[in-house]
Amino acid sequence: MNFPRPPQGLSDTEQAAAMAKTMENAMQNCFVKSAVSGVMGFGMGGLFGLFMASMAYDTPYHTAGAGGGTAPITSLPLRQQLQHGFKDMGQRSWSTAKNFGKVGALFAGIECGVEGFRAKNDLANGAISGCLTGAILARNAGPQAAAGGCAAFAAFGLAIDAWMRQPKDE
């Protein structure tokens, strides 16, 4: 497989400019946008899940004991406490990473498709994409949940898009 390379015989600055243009052109592809958003969402979700799992231990935390009962985690030996904590953090981090990655890839792909279909770059793209993303994510819970997901994601997408389009105060 041959990767695009800048033409030979160019100066360093010309090669850098050609490579920057190649990267910019690659990011215009909807599949690339969706994949990059999915990977970035996965990474961000992993960090967020790790943080949220670590915050869960500031409350009286109980773990399942023998016989189905619960025992305070502080009654376990330190090694088991750490083992349980790291296992829980890993599970939460993995779960959140998958969810954030799925949402990021889905939203970015749909938004890119909507923008290409409408041939416009405005606030409606974020609202339409949010509505479709929310409805798709909530589809298994029924039509009311899909409508609620549509409304919630559309409002969130519109709010974020409006905030990102504000003029910079410099």
**108/112 Cα distance (integer angstroms):** 6
Select the more confidently predicted residue: 17 or 73: 17
What pTM, to 2 d.p., does this model score? 0.76
Decide the pairing of beta strands 62-64 and 70-72. antiparallel
Q: Where along the chain do its domains lie?
A: 39-57+72-104, 122-170
| Mean pLDDT, all residues of the chain | 85
Q: How confident is the model at residue 88 (pLDDT cuts 50, 70, 90)?
A: confident
Contact 85, 63 (CB under 8 A): no
pLDDT of residue 26: 79
